[in-house]
């Protein structure tokens, strides 16, 4: 089964120091993007230090470690992955020592030309220590650095050979470099806090460290921070077209983030409103599956006139089931994660909103929870279309064999989940979720149409 990764990156330059602790707070705000591993690398007096391990941010770092990592630049990463599994060596940032010095690289995304790049480097004598495409990116940058005068130029040249999704933060002893692929698949933004310059996957991480959002890194663009000054390289922007993953708005991003000028919360509200128009239901209460179904449920309730209610209690100490690596773990996590509020659903016709159906097993268990709590009817509404194709660009959406909608009709899925009725958001509605977004979108997992040639497309 081909499954890719979804991660979060954070970078900071601050001449006043303390960057490791700031990165720690930033990664905490991005924890929803990856829960298997976390890491921070810093530069202090041009010396690279790092610490990374399997686990949540709060488990990987303690005060002593953060003090040891103190520096004027830092790059951090939270990882969720199935490629390579939960191996410590796959944790990021990846660090590299070579003849020109040292590099630390944090990467969110997934390349589609990994095999040919890996083979090319191996023919040149490269020995890979990890199974990630992020290491290939690090090698590409280091190789180009041998032929050009600066790390930012090396990044610029390396980007030309990469195909797929990459939002990168690269740190050398003197510079912090942020870069985004020419299709803009994964978000990357920039902010400031006094003399500090901050980069992050989402604006919620800027808020967490009291930085003021300034701008997005545009598709193909490179931002370079050196001695507190920021400049931008747009050589790879020519011909670039934005195709950011629409699933960032539907599921991955935190509701308080703003991506490409569009509030994630408002996009999910709109998904719920449209869903109510496309798939109305006669019911007594609308509830959302925490957390990413809640905003859409509010929108559905608003548009339908059906009261909104809290239908579930969430155990905050259990991670997301969608980004739990194996099926058995996902199934066991559901009942540990959610409890139905009997006082809200008993004797009632319930509209239940969730963000997606991938395999269907989680949905079946959640509907069973509502039945056990006394719901007389459960009308299941999904704030995304049916998944009919894998993601090749950094989201945990598996191959067609494991996508329920590839093998079953909507009616069959309804029967399998135990719902009284079932409705998905239309693919046409995706164009209306984020009216304020200054970008286009990739919807390949819903349409089988990708902006980049894929291994199986």
Output the known binding site.
Answer: 245, 292, 354-355, 391, 442, 445
Euclidean distance between CA atoms 45 and 273, whole angstroms: 53
Provide CB contacts within 8 A for 177, sequence distance 6+.
Answer: 151, 152, 155, 168, 169, 170, 171, 222, 223, 224, 225
Is 7 tagged catalytic? yes
Is there a contact between 206 and 217 (Cβ–Cβ < 8 Å)?
Answer: no
Question: How big is the chain, counted in residues?
Answer: 457
Annotated binding site for [4Fe-4S] cluster: 245, 391, 442, 445
Euclidean distance between CA atoms 82 and 323, whole angstroms: 9
Annotated binding site for Mg(2+): 292, 354-355
Provide CB contacts within 8 A for 269, sequence distance 6+.
Answer: 295, 296, 298, 299, 302
Q: What is the CA radius of gyration of the chain?
A: 22
Q: Indicate the SS3 state at residue 264.
A: helix
Euclidean distance between CA atoms 229 and 305, whole angstroms: 52
Beta bridge partners of 56: none
Regarding beta strands 189-193 and 212-216, do their DSSP bridges make them parallel or antiparallel, or are they unpaired?
antiparallel
Beta bridge partners of 54: 37
Euclidean distance between CA atoms 154 and 146, whole angstroms: 8
Give the tokens for residue 1: 């089964």
DSSP string, 6-61: EEEEEEEE-TT--HHHHHHHHHHHTGGG--SEEEEEEEETTEEEEEEEES-HHHH-
Q: Indicate the SS3 state at residue 198.
A: strand
* Residues recognised as catalytic: 7
């Amino acid at each position: 089964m081909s499954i890719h990764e979804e991660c979060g990156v954070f970078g900071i330059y601050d001449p006043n120091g303390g960057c490791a602790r700031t990165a720690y707070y930033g990664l905490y705000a991005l924890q929803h993007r990856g829960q298997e591993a976390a890491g921070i690398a810093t530069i202090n007096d041009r010396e690279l230090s790092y610490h990374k391990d399997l686990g949540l941010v709060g488990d990987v770092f303690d005060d002593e470690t953060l003090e040891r990592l103190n520096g004027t630049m830092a790059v951090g990463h939270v990882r969720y992955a199935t490629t390579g599994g939960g191996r410590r060596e796959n944790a990021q940032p990846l660090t590299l020592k070579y003849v020109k010095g040292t590099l630390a690289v944090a990467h969110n995304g997934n390349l589609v030309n990994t095999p040919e790049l890996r083979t090319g480097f191996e023919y040149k004598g490269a020995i890979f220590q990890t199974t990630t495409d992020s290491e290939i990116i690090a090698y590409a940058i280091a190789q180009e650095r041998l032929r050009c005068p600066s790390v930012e130029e090396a990044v610029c040249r390396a980007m030309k050979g990469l195909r797929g999704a990459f939002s990168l933060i690269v740190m050398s002893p003197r510079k912090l470099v942020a870069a985004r692929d020419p299709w803009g698949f994964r978000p990357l933004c920039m902010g400031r806090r006094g003399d500090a310059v901050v980069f992050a996957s989402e604006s919620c991480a800027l808020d967490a460290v009291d930085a003021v959002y300034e701008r997005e890194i545009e598709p193909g663009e490179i931002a370079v921070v050196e001695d507190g000054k920021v400049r931008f390289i747009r050589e790879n922007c020519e011909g670039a077209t934005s195709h950011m993953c629409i699933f960032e708005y539907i599921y991955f991003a935190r509701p308080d983030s703003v991506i490409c000028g569009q509030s994630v919360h408002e996009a999910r509200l709109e998904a719920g409103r449209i869903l109510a128009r496309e798939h109305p239901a006669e019911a007594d209460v609308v509830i959302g599956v925490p957390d990413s179904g809640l905003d859409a449920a509010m929108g559905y309730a608003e548009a339908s006139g059906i009261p909104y209610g809290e239908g579930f209690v969430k155990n905050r100490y259990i991670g997301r089931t969608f980004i739990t690596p194996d099926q058995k773990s996902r199934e066991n996590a559901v009942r540990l994660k959610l409890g139905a509020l009997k006082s809200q659903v008993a004797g009632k016709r319930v509209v239940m909103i969730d963000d997606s159906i991938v395999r269907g097993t989680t949905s079946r268990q959640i509907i069973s929870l509502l039945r056990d709590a006394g719901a007389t009817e459960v009308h299941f509404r999904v704030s995304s279309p049916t998944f009919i194709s894998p993601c090749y660009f950094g989201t945990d959406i598996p191959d067609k064999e494991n996508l329920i909608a590839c093998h079953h009709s909507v009616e069959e899925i309804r029967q399998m989940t135990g719902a009284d009725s079932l409705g998905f958001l239309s693919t046409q509605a995706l164009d209306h979720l984020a009216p304020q977004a200054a970008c286009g979108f990739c919807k390949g997992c819903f349409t089988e149409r990708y902006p980049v040639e894929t291994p199986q497309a």
